[in-house]
Each structure stands twice: as structure tokens, then as C-alpha cells.
């Protein structure tokens, strides 16, 4: 019964967007209750659909949209295990963050704009998730990008926020262009396959060309080289959206927006859309040739390496940041890297199982990272600064925030007890990814992704506990008056903390459910069967050992102060300088590509051509003079005397009549 | 009186209207001449309607009269506004749009 109303999941927040935008000023709290009610509605419908279709139903609804040539595009809804877990997570986390935002944004005069934009964002994100075709997916994907742009630049009067919004938009655009190119290439291939009678490939009635089911059905017919390029282009889109190396730079800058925006968009939902894209089109990734045989690189290998490298690369920068939100931003980039790594490595050894592993980390990450951001928001709300060097000793004043943030940090660091099955959400999800990377290493002899994952896990634990110890323990390093946040903010924190603690226990049910996703869609994924790898004890224990080790290192340095950090943190230390300057990525991005290449080379040469060559041809030359002279003559027609115009009109009509008479005869 | 008498009157009215529009300078007079043009057309509609024994033309003429009333109201409103602005409705002086 709920599945009949699946479209409302998207439509309710859209309606709330329109109403809040236009009526928000007249309502209490800037109309915040409209989006909250709408998203609660979306969550309830999603939950209802989940209960209806679990464990093996899917919902498919599709209507034709427009035709181009012989192919018809459609709009539709596809709710399969992959989509429903995302729907539940996005609507639930979005609901909590909206409630939290009532408190967090209470002093902001532009509340209606804020709530309208986040409501539109939620609608678009839900639409990305339940699209049943790649075109609708792309459109929603772009709307999500626009909302991200608007919300990063929410305080647009701050130049840094406006610049960050621009950067986010431009950098993700690179990915979007690649994604669009992938769609075009896929479409061309599909049309070619359909038009070739030798294939006997037909789209059944009720199915459409760019639907995921049609795409997957056609996989065996697509030329493997082309398929690899299509998947790599899709992955390019995912790299842009999910802030993977080398398009990661926008995500830390995006922290200029309100903290709730960072929690909603840049931690829990939008940035995971890239991972979701790869998971959604995973049969295509798996079907790509897995050696260098075809003269093309292995798509899954690239996914694994980009993900693994990003996980480590971002974690190193997280170590030295002093802005509480930037630490978390690099952590997000790093964790997204883990998800990509899972898809790449486990995809090679486990096939469809990788989707379950990656999605599980995606969802547990959404809970604990949203929680971390909301705790950071609570701290910022209380202290009024982002700089952890100015915090300290907050735990006595903010017990709830401190406790929940500690839980989230434990979850991020992946602390738990192996073999007993007790642990935080991050323990289960991250360990499974690291194990997957190990299995991959066992089978292919390539342990580099595994090494990336383990070192990144150590760094993750160090930077997150550094953050916690610096903010909540020790002596206050500034005389700011801080206090615990109101209930409307702390209650969402506690709910998320429960999930960050206990969500992990659903892991087996979750893997089993999401793994069947592509079977339910009738897609065969070649699973690389083989003997199950039983990793040695040290491999099972290692992620937890590095997690605890990271905790101890941070404890020793930032709580006990056993090591004087002032020698390491100095502009003399080249490593520190490199990390603190973010590997000079902003310099390369803005100064080299932006100023030197785009402005100095492209724009300047464009200006030269325009001013010197084109203007030289046109200004005061025979062309312009002739045009001027003709104009001088013709303008005399405009006498400004109404009677002249009327006479000419009447003469014209008379002339027309005469001509008609001559042509057709008659009376 | 046959159809031709009506058409003749219509032509005469039309010609007066055209002559007026071309020769007159006052905005109001021009507006009145435009009304003459419209009414000659209405007369034609009614005449043909009666001649063909078909009521459509008469209904059409009624619509046309209603629209002419609206058009006249707008025209006079423009002239009133113009007079307030420029203290004249002599169209020879209203020529800022020429070259």
C-alpha cells in the first residue's frame, strides 16, 4: 500500500521547498516545521515500503517522458534493497539534522531560505536514490549539486564562503561533465546495439532505453573497451561528487557553509552519491575486462587505487588541521575513499558482495559522521569559534556533546572487540572493508590497497582523538563563555549516538539483504568463486590494534602532553608545512590552474584575439564604415510623425490588395 | 436597399477614417477616426451577415464593438496621461522616438 505512494517520497519535500520559500517569513521558526513534516512523511513512506518489500520485493514504476528518434526516455522509480537502505538513511538523517537546525540556525535571519534549500536538497537526493534510469539520476544529481552550491554560499556576504561555493561548483562540474560524457557514450552504444539486427536485442514494453535494467541487460553486447571507458567516465563523476583525489579540494573548503549543511550534505548524503553511483552501476564495473588484455586499464583496479590512495592522502591532512570542521571534512574524504576501496577490491574478489560491504560503511559512516559534525556544530554554537586551539576543557560544561562526540570518534576509529562481535558501527563496517582489501591482496598478490587502508585507519584514529582531546580536555585556552546546547540540538545527537553505537549489529542481515540487489533485478553478476579466505589472527586484529594505538598516541600527546609538539608544529618542518598547506592543492588549483593557466594564458590570449585581431578588422575599417553609412540613410525613415507611419501602412495594405487581385483575379 | 448600398456607406466611412488619420494632428481626432474604421468594418460584418442569412457575423460585430470600447478607453487614458506629461496632444510634438 505504501509503494503506491512512492512518488511522494520526493514530492513532499519539493512541496515543502516551495511553501517554505514563499511563506517561510510568515511562519514561526522560518517555516522549519514544513520541511521537517515533509521529510518525516518521506521517512514514514520509506519505512512502510521497506516493511512491505523486505526481504525480496522491489518496487518499479515508470512512465514514458519523451521520445528521441526510436528511443523513449522515461521517468520512474526503482526501489530495490540498495535504494531502500539509502532512502531510509537519507530521510532519517535529514530529519534529525533538520530538527537540530531549528536550534542551530535560531539566530539566523535567513531561516526561510535555509530551510527551503535544505528541503529541496533532500528532495533531489531522494530522487537520485530512487531513479530507475540514468538520465533522471543525472538530473537529480545536478540539482543536488546546485543545492550544495547554494548552501555552501549560504552566508554569501562572506567572501570566503562565496569563493568556496564557486570552487565546489566548478570542481564537481569537472566530474559532472565526465559523467554526462559517459551517459552519452552509453546511449550511443545502446542505440547501436538495438539497431543491429544480429543482436536480436529488444527493449520490452514498459522498459526504456536508459533504464538501469536495460543497461544491465545490454552489458554482454557492449564492446568491452567501450564499456571500460563508460564505467571510467561514470567513476569520474563519482570522483567529483565524492571528493576523491584529485578532485577532493572542494570538500574541505565547503565547510564555509553552516555546520548543519556540512553534516547533511558534505558528510552524510550528497558526497556519498558518488559511491552510490558506482554501486548502482556496479554490474557494469564488474563486467569490465579485469586485465590489461584489452589495452585498457582495469576499471575496478582504478576504483580501488583511487579510493585507497584518497583514504590515506586525506587522513594525513586531517592530522594537522586546526579548524574543527576541516578535520572532519578530511575525515569524510578519507572515509569515502574507504567506500570506493571496498567497491574496487572486494568487487574483484566477491562480486556483488562488495556493494553490501561498501553500502554498510556508507550508512554507518553517515550516522557517525553526521553525529561528529552536529557535535562540532554544538561546540561551535557554544564557543563561537572553529579553532580547536582556542577550545579545551569543554567536557565539564558540555557533557552530552562531549559524550556523544566520543562515541562517534570511537565509531570512526573502528574500536571494538573482534571474535566477540561487540563493537561500534564503524568497527564492523571498516574492518570488513580492510578484510576485503586483504582478501584481494591474497588473491592477486597486490597488498598495496590493504596497506593504504591500514595506515589510513591508524591516522584516522590519531586525528579524531586529537580533535576530541584538544576540544574537550585540558584547560580552557580562551575565556569564552560556553554552555550546553538546547534540547532540540542534543536530542538528535543522542539518537545518532545510539545508531553509531549499535547499528553495527545489523551487519549480517544487511550484507545478505543488499547483496541480493542485482539478483532481484534479474542481473547476473559473475561472482569470483573460490575458497573463502580465513585471514590470520593478526590480520583480523590489526584494524583494532591500529585504532587503539591511534587512541593511545593521541592520549599521550594531547592529554598527557608527553611530547612537546611545538617542535614538530613549526613552519620549519617541511612535512608539517606540506600537510598544513594541504599538499599545495589550493595553490595548484587556484593559482596555477585558475590564475596562471585560465586567466593568464587562455583569457589573455582570448582578449588579444578579440581586441587586436577582431577589433582591428572591424573598427574604422571598410566593413564598419559601410554599415554606419547605410544606417545613416535608413534611419531617416523614422520620422516620428504618426501620420507618415499610418499612410505607409495603408499604402502597404492597398498594394497587397492589388497584388492579390492580380494574382488570383476575382471581383 | 441591397447589399451594395451598405457596402458603399461602409467604404465612405472607411475613407473618411483613413483621410482623418492621415491629415489630422490632434490625438483625439485620430482616435475618433480609428473608431470610424472599426465601425465601417462592423457595418460590413452586419451587412454580409444579413445578406447570407447567417447570425455569426452579427455576434462577431457585437464582440468587435465591445473590444472597440475597451480600446477607446485605453486610447483616451493614454492621451490623458500624455496631456499631463507634455501639456499637448498634438501628435506632431510627440516625436522623441524619431532619429
**A526 pLDDT more than 70:** no
As a whole number, the mean pLDDT across chain B is 90
Predicted pLDDT of residue A503:
86
- A69 contacts A121 by C-beta, under 8 angstroms: no
What are the C-alpha distances in Å from A388 to residues A468, A473, A482? 9, 11, 14
CA distance A626 to chain B (A): 19
Please give the ipTM for the structure prediction: 0.79
- Extract the C-alpha cell encoding A51: 516493511
Mean pLDDT of A307-332: 89
Residues of A in contact with B23 (CB under 8 A): 643
The reply to whether omega before A246 is within 30° of 0 (cis) is: yes
Predicted pLDDT of residue A533:
61
- A190 contacts A215 by C-beta, under 8 angstroms: yes
Q: Domain ranges in chain B?
A: 3-93
Which of B32, B14, B9, B29 shows the shortest CA–CA distance to A654? B14
Could you tell me which chain B residue has the CA closest to the CA of A648?
Answer: B22
Q: Is A387 exposed, middle or buried (0-12, 13-18, 19+ CB in 10 A)?
A: middle
As a whole number, the mean pLDDT across chain A is 85
Mean pLDDT of A131-153: 92
A647 lies within 8 A of chain B by CB? yes
Length of chain B: 99
pLDDT digits (tens, 9 = 90+) for A166-185: 889 988 999 999 999 999 99
Which of A342, A373, A377 shows the shortest CA–CA distance to A360? A342
Using pLDDT thresholds of 50, 70 and 90, give the confidence band for residue A571: low
Contact check, Cβ <8 Å, B30/A647 = no
- Give the contacts of A185 (CB within 8 A, at least 6 positions apart): A226, A229, A230, A233
Predicted pLDDT of residue B74:
94
**A295 pLDDT more than 80:** no
A198 lies within 8 A of chain B by CB? no
Contact check, Cβ <8 Å, B21/A638 = no
- Give the contacts of A29 (CB within 8 A, at least 6 positions apart): A102, A106, A111
- Cα dihedral A152→A154→A160→A166 (10° resolution): 50
Q: Is A264 exposed, middle or buried (0-12, 13-18, 19+ CB in 10 A)?
A: buried
Higher pLDDT, A203 or B76: B76
Distance of CA A580 to the CA centre of its chain: 25
Among candidates A636, A642, A650 on the partner chain, residue whose Cβ is nearest the Cβ of B99: A636
Q: Domain ranges in chain A?
A: 298-379+386-580
Q: Which residues of B11-27 are buried (b: 16+ CB within 10 A; e: fewer)?
A: eebbeebbebbeebeeb
Predicted pLDDT of residue B81:
92
A641 lies within 8 A of chain B by CB? yes
Mean pLDDT of A519-525: 72
Could you tell me which chain B residue has the CA closest to the CA of A633?
Answer: B99
Mean pLDDT of A435-464: 87
Mean pLDDT of A588-606: 84
**A515 pLDDT more than 70:** yes
Predicted pLDDT of residue A32:
84
Q: What pTM did the predictor assign? A: 0.80
Q: How far is Cα A556 from Cα A565, in angstroms, rounded to an integer?
A: 11
Predicted pLDDT of residue B40:
95
Mean pLDDT of A620-633: 86
Contact check, Cβ <8 Å, A640/B18 = no
- Give the highest mean pLDDT range of A159-168, A212-221, A578-587: A159-168
Predicted pLDDT of residue B37:
92
Contact check, Cβ <8 Å, A642/B91 = yes
A649 lies within 8 A of chain B by CB? no
Using pLDDT thresholds of 50, 70 and 90, give the confidence band for residue A564: low
Q: Which of A376-380, A441-445, A519-523 comes out lowest in average pLDDT?
A: A519-523
Task: Tell me the pairing of strands A71-79 and A59-68.
Answer: antiparallel
**A590 φψ region: left (φ > 0), alpha (ψ -120 to 50), beta (else):** alpha
**A569 pLDDT more than 80:** no
* SS3 category, A475: coil
Where does A55-141 show beta strands of DSSP type E? 59-68, 71-79
CA distance B65 to chain A (A): 22
**A55 pLDDT more than 80:** no
- Give the contacts of A510 (CB within 8 A, at least 6 positions apart): A85, A356, A359, A360, A363
Beta bridge partners of A131: A77
- A460 contacts A331 by C-beta, under 8 angstroms: yes
pLDDT digits (tens, 9 = 90+) for A9-31: 999 999 999 999 888 888 777 77
Contact check, Cβ <8 Å, B98/A642 = no
CA distance B8 to chain A (A): 15
**B8 pLDDT more than 90:** yes
Chain B residues near any Cβ of chain A (below 8 Å): 18, 21-25, 30, 91-92, 94-99
Residues of A in contact with B22 (CB under 8 A): 643, 646-647, 650
Phi, psi of A76 (to 5 degrees): -170, 180
**The domain at B3-93 falls in which architecture?**
Orthogonal Bundle (1.10)
Amino acid at each position: 500500500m505504501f509503494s503506491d505512494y512512492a512518488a511522494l517520497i520526493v514530492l513532499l519535500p519539493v512541496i515543502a521547498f516551495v511553501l517554505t520559500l514563499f511563506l517561510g517569513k510568515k511562519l514561526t521558526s522560518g517555516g522549519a516545521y514544513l520541511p521537517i513534516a515533509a521529510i518525516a512523511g518521506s521517512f514514514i513512506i520509506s519505512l512502510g515500503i521497506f516493511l512491505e518489500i523486505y526481504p525480496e520485493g522491489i518496487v518499479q514504476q515508470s512512465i514514458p517522458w519523451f521520445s528521441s528518434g526510436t528511443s523513449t526516455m522515461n521517468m520512474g522509480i526503482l526501489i530495490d534493497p540498495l535504494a531502500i537502505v539509502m532512502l531510509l538513511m537519507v530521510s532519517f538523517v535529514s530529519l534529525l539534522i533538520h530538527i537540530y537546525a531549528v536550534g542551530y540556525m535560531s539566530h539566523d535571519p535567513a531561516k526561510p531560505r535555509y530551510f527551503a534549500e535544505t528541503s529541496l536538497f533532500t528532495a533531489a537526493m531522494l530522487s537520485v536514490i530512487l531513479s530507475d534510469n540514468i538520465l533522471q539520476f543525472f538530473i537529480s544529481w545536478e540539482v543536488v549539486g546546485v543545492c550544495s552550491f547554494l548552501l555552501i554560499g549560504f552566508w554569501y556576504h562572506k567572501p570566503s564562503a562565496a569563493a568556496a561555493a564557486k570552487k565546489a561548483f566548478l570542481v564537481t562540474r569537472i566530474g559532472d561533465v565526465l559523467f554526462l560524457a559517459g551517459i552519452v557514450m552509453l546511449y550511443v552504444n545502446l542505440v547501436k546495439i538495438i539497431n543491429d539486427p544480429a543482436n536480436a536485442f529488444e527493449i520490452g514494453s514498459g522498459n526504456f532505453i536508459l533504464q538501469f535494467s536495460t543497461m544491465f541487460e545490454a552489458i554482454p553486447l557492449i564492446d568491452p573497451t567501450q564499456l571500460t571507458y563508460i564505467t571510467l567516465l561514470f567513476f569520474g563523476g563519482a570522483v567529483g561528487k565524492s571528493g576523491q583525489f584529485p578532485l577532493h579540494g572542494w570538500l574541505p573548503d565547503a565547510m564555509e557553509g553552516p555546520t548543519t549543511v556540512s553534516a547533511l550534505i558534505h558528510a552524510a548524503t550528497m558526497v556519498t552519491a558518488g559511491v552510490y553511483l558506482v554501486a548502482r552501476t556496479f554490474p557494469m564495473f564488474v563486467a569490465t575486462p579485469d586485465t590489461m588484455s584489452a589495452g585498457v586499464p582495469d576499471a575496478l583496479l582504478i576504483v580501488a587505487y583511487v579510493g585507497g590512495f584518497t583514504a590515506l592522502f586525506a587522513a594525513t591532512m586531517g592530522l594537522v588541521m586546526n579548524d574543527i570542521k576541516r578535520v572532519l571534512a578530511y575525515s569524510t574524504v578519507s572515509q569515502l575513499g574507504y567506500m570506493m576501496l571496498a567497491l574496487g577490491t572486494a568487487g574483484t574478489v566477491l562480486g556483488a558482495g562488495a556493494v553490501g560491504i561498501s553500502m554498510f560503511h556508507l550508512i554507518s559512516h553517515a550516522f557517525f559522521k553526521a553525529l561528529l559534525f552536529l557535535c562540532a556544530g554544538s561546540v561551535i554554537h557554544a564557543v563561537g569559534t572553529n579553532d580547536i586551539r582556542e577550545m579545551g576543557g569543554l567536557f565539564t560544561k558540555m557533557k552530552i556533546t562531549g559524550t556523544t562526540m566520543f562515541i562517534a570518534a570511537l565509531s570512526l576509529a573502528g574500536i571494538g572487540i573482534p571474535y566477540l562481535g561487540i563493537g561500534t558501527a564503524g568497527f564492523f563496517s571498516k574492518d570488513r572493508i580492510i578484510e576485503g582489501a586483504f582478501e584481494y591482496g591474497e588473491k592477486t598478490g597486490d597488498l598495496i590497497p590493504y596497506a593504504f587502508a591500514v595506515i589510513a585507519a591508524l591516522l584516522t584514529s590519531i586525528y579524531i582523538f586529537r580533535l576530541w582531546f584538544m576540544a574537550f580536555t585540558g584547560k580552557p585556552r580562551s575565556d569564552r563563555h560556553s554552555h550546553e546546547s538546547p534540547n532540540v540540538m542534543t536530542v538528535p545527537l543522542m539518537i545518532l549516538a545510539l545508531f553509531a553505537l549499535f547499528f553495527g549489529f545489523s551487519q549480517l542481515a544487511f550484507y545478505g539483504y543488499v547483496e541480493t540487489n542485482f539478483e532481484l533485478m534479474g542481473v547476473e553478476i559473475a561472482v569470483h568463486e573460490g575458497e573463502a579466505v580465513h585471514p590470520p589472527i593478526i590480520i583480523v586484529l590489526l584494524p583494532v590494534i591500529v585504532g587503539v594505538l591511534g587512541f593511545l598516541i593521541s592520549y599521550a600527546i594531547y592529554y598527557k602532553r608527553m611530547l612537546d609538539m611545538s617542535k614538530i608544529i613549526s613552519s620549519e618542518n617541511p612535512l608539517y608545512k606540506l600537510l598544513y598547506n594541504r599538499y599545495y592543492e589550493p595553490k595548484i588549483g587556484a593559482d596555477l590552474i585558475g590564475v596562471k593557466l585560465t586567466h593568464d594564458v587562455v583569457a589573455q590570449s582570448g582578449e588579444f584575439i578579440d581586441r587586436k585581431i577582431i577589433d582591428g578588422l572591424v573598427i574604422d575599417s571598410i566593413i564598419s564604415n559601410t554599415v554606419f553609412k547605410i544606417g545613416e540613410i535608413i534611419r531617416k525613415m523614422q520620422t516620428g510623425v504618426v501620420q507618415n507611419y499610418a499612410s505607409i501602412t495603408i499604402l502597404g495594405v492597398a498594394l497587397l490588395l492589388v497584388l492579390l487581385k492580380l494574382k488570383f483575379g476575382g471581383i | 436597399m441591397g447589399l451594395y448600398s451598405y457596402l458603399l456607406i461602409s467604404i465612405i466611412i472607411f475613407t473618411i477614417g483613413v483621410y482623418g488619420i492621415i491629415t489630422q494632428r490632434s490625438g483625439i481626432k485620430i482616435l475618433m477616426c480609428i473608431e470610424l474604421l472599426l465601425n465601417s468594418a462592423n457595418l460590413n460584418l452586419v451587412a454580409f451577415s444579413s445578406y447570407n442569412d447567417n447570425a455569426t457575423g452579427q455576434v462577431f460585430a457585437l464582440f468587435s464593438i465591445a473590444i472597440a470600447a475597451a480600446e477607446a478607453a485605453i486610447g483616451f487614458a493614454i492621451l490623458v496621461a500624455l496631456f499631463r506629461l507634455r501639456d499637448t496632444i498634438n501628435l506632431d510634438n510627440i516625436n522623441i522616438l524619431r532619429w
